[in-house]
Structure 1
Amino acid sequence: MSLPRAKSETGDPLLLTPGPLTTSKSVKQAMLHDWGSRDPAFIALNRRVLEGLAEIAGGDGLVTVPMQGSGTFAVEAMIGTLVPRDGKLLILINGAYGQRAGKIADRAARAWTALETAEDTPPDIATLSAALDADPAITHVFAVHCETTSGILNPIAEIADAVAAKDRRLLVDSMSAFGALEINAAKVRYDALAASSNKCLEGVPGLGFVLCREDALRAAAGNAHALSLDLADQFLALERTGQYRFTPPIHVIAALAQALDEHRDEGGVAGRGGRYRRNCRTLIDGLRDLGFETLLPDRLQAPIIVTFRMPGHPNFSFQTFYDALAERGFLIYPGKLTVAESFRIGCIGRLDERDMAGAVEAVRDVMTQMKVPTGAAA
């Protein structure tokens, strides 16, 4: 007999994805009002959001520069503004988002090189240090905090120490980690960090942002390869007028203001990260009991999204599995790996251990329906 269909508090399916994700009813309700983009009330609301984001990051010496669009807009703005036209970027790659940074550097006409490891392997710090010694032209290093291709947690503090020791500048894509995994600027030295509204902050899609060292940002004035992606120009306009240069995603910003209040009320980074870790543990333990195998060992697993190897039983069909879980109210993600056939299940958003336990039971129910006795890989 099938389990009851899972739903969010607004009756929608639960999104077991790395974002967009399930949001609270109160975050959705924050978008029910209209704001004038140049009205003092909206300007004050936006200022509160930008200051709140800098606070989460550790505050001192940081400014928040918002960027209309998805997280990739923020990453492209960060690379195109902070890396000088005559600079060179070293990109640490172990998944799709490191690879995307290379495509961005190409479009921005920035020289770059890469240190690439397999999707289940973090970058080696000694190899990074040696690469910086070998190539004095490298001015900046780009690293992904949590690479959602696999769910791997990269050693961002050690990377930052190695980059600083060689007197280079670090740019971080913390899209799937910021707000849940600590990356305090007082402890981890970076020039800029990109993230977005619709990941661990549990807002809605539409606003990326870059947390920048103010001195580095001011020094980058005139670097940008694109008008709309010029972080320095956006910052100077906000500093001067309190207003965006171009139309802001007003309703998204209002939702993020509410989401930040809820983040603070949950206990900030520690509280949000703690809930996600409990979700992740419930999911992994439950699916391992059904025979499923995780791609990553626990020591490399971020509590954001988990990659499971595809079951090897001949009755298993991922599309059937996906559709049957969707019918029960759980939407998961296909895999993106080159190293193994896989699928992914997210642990973030307005979900708790009960939701994850429900997802495990739904998987058990679907496996029985498919006549697949074990989730073990081939």
Structure 2
Amino acid sequence: MRNYLLLTPGPLSTSPSVREAMLQDWCTWDKDYNEGIVSVIRQELLRITGLDNSYTSVLLQGSGTYSVEAVLGSAVKPEDKLLIVSNGAYGKRMGDIARYHGLNYAIISLKETLQVTADVVLKALVEHPDTTHLAMVHCETTTGIINPIEEVAKAIEGHELTFIVDAMSSFGGIPIDIDGLNIDFLISSANKCIQGVPGFGFIIAKRTKIESCKGTSRSLSLDIYDQWNEMEKGHGKWRFTSPTHVVRAFFQALKELNDEGGIAARHQRYRENHSILVEGMERLGFKALLPADVQSPIITSFLYPEKDFDFPAFYEALKQRGFVIYPGKISEAPTFRIGNIGDVFPEDFERLVDQVAAIRGNKTR
């Protein structure tokens, strides 16, 4: 049973079978759990993206931010220089992490409606020629903007940079050629496009890069080398208590991703969700914040339709009709956001538009 559909960028609506997978208890020391579930997940994360044994994966307890912090704190050595190029709250958060850890870093902050392009990155590298590590967000859910990591990856060829990509909201829902783009560390979370539940994040990394993290971390719990090394030696064993129910739900979610047809098929569904949403909302007088050419299919920001628009009342009215959305997160304009990801389908967005029309006193067709 669902109390409402979560139209958010995670946590998101999950399938009944993913939720049902959490009804069984698992022992963290048991071979069936470590080898039959955790190790399979680690391999499957590589398989669904076409990666070979030159890459590896590691799971880490906590929200996605824990994994971002773990990568920055483990991969950036005292003699290194981290460059963060940000166009939203999650790029800014990487700057906060770097500051807390006392890293040598610089952050370039763009307007939230501007993409992190190759030109922006190259200009930043001229200003910071001692850069060794470049970090950016792929899909910035502050607005829903998609940053062209393909363009950036090509532009930084030959710069000998460690490329760190926060793909929290995009991995599993947008095809990413990790090897082709020469990404060294890619970070995501269980409760995003794979459509699991919150509780752990994961890192896909070049094996040589994660091996080079040994002894660097400033944190015991967030040491990705030690976590990875334990999982390698222990055939899926976590260093500390793992979120067993969440891991089992993710195992089921990966199966359902494959049953759907993989990342490309899921991407197509999300695109269709987004298209129906935007077309319907525009008929009702709402305007998307971003132009279509920079908009991701993950989450969509809409401008308030009038100055006195009462978002809390609108939110509550939609919630009573079975839909939960997000408030806005940018400073330059009043907005709200609607997520297109999760166990939600085009017909759900058709129903959503109908309910918005009822609230607004309009007809959809």
Equivalent position to 2:260, from 254, 260, 266: 266
Letter of the structure 1 residue corresponding to residue 173 of structure 2: A
Name structure 1 gaps, 5 residues minimum: 1-9
Provide the C-alpha distance between the structure 1 equivalents of 2:125 and 2:58, rounded to a whole number of angstroms. 29
State whether structure 2 residue 213 is matched by structure 1 residue 210.
no
1:304 to 291, 298, 301: 298
Q: Give the aligned partner of residue 101 of structure 1.
A: 94
**Deviation larger for 109-118 or 65-74:** 109-118
Tell me by how many angstroms 1:86 deviates. Answer: 1.9
Which residue number corresponds to residue 142 of structure 2?
A: 149
What is the alpha-carbon distance in structure 2 between the residues aligned to residue 115 and residue 20 of structure 1? 29
Deviations 1:204-254 (A, max 9, x none): 000101111000110111111101000011111111112111000000000
Deviation, structure 1 residue 147: 0.1
Partner Cα separation in structure 1 for residue 164 and residue 107 of structure 2: 14
Task: Please give the alpha-carbon distance, in whole angstroms, between the structure 1 residues aligned to 2:179 and 2:68.
Answer: 22
Distance 2:126 2:305 in 1: 44
Q: Which residue of 1 aligns with 2:47?
A: 55
Q: Are residues 1:38 and 2:29 paired?
A: yes
Per-residue CA distance 1:293-330 (angstroms, 9 max, x = gap)? 1010111110000000012154x311110000000010
Equivalent residue letter for 1:283: L
C-alpha contact (below 8 Å) 1:81/1:223 kept by paired residues: yes
SS state at 1:164 partner:
coil
Q: Give the Cα–Cα distance (whole angstroms) in 1 for the partners of residues 211 and 157 of structure 2.
A: 20
- Root-mean-square deviation (CA, aligned residues, Å) is 1.3
The total of aligned residue pairs comes to 360
Matched with 2:115 is: 122
CA distance in 1, matches of 2:79, 2:100: 15
Equivalent residue for 1:339, pick from 328, 332, 335: 332
Stretch moving more, 133-142 or 47-56: 133-142
CA distance in 1, matches of 2:157, 2:186: 15
The aligned counterpart of 1:193 is 186
What fraction of aligned residue pairs are identical, expressed as a percent?
42
Contact 2:138/2:167, CA 8 A, preserved across alignment: yes
Q: 1:282-321, aligned counterparts within 5 Å?
A: 282-312=276-306, 314=308, 316-321=309-314
Once the two structures are superposed, residues 59-91 of structure 1 have per-residue CA deviations (whole angstroms, 9 ceiling, x without a partner) of 222111111010000100011111112211111
Distance 1:311 1:165 in 2: 47
Other-structure match for 1:184: 177
- 1:23 equivalenced with 2:23 (yes/no): no
Deviates more, 1:305-314 or 1:22-31: 305-314
- What are structure 2's unaligned runs of at least 5 residues? none
Q: Which amino acid aligns with 1:110?
A: L
Shift of 1:163: 2.5
In structure 2, what is the Cα distance between the partners aligned to 1:297 and 1:342? Answer: 15
Is the deviation greater in 184-193 or in 329-338? 184-193
Q: Alignment partner of 1:29: what SS?
A: helix
**Which AA in structure 2 matches 1:20?**
P
1:170 aligns with 2:163: yes
CA contact (8 A) 2:144 2:301 kept: yes
Answer with 35-44 or 183-192: which moved more: 183-192
In 2: Cα distance, 1:276 partner to 1:301 partner:
12
- CA distance in 2: counterparts of 1:120 and 1:342, whole angstroms: 12
The answer to whether residue 103 in structure 2 is matched with residue 110 in structure 1 is: yes
Q: What displacement does 1:127 show? A: 3.1
Cα distance in 2 for residues equivalent to 1:11 and 1:348: 16
**What is the distance in 2 between the residues matched to 1:26 and 1:119?**
37
Q: Distance in 1 between matches of 2:93 and 2:39?
A: 31
**Equivalent position amino acid for 2:42 in 1:** L
CA distance, structure 2, for counterparts of residue 31 and residue 322 of structure 1: 30
> TM-score under structure 2 normalisation?
0.96
Q: Deviation above 6 Å: which 4+ runs of structure 1?
A: none
AA of the residue aligned to 1:335: G
Q: 1:223 aligns with which of 216, 219, 225?
A: 216
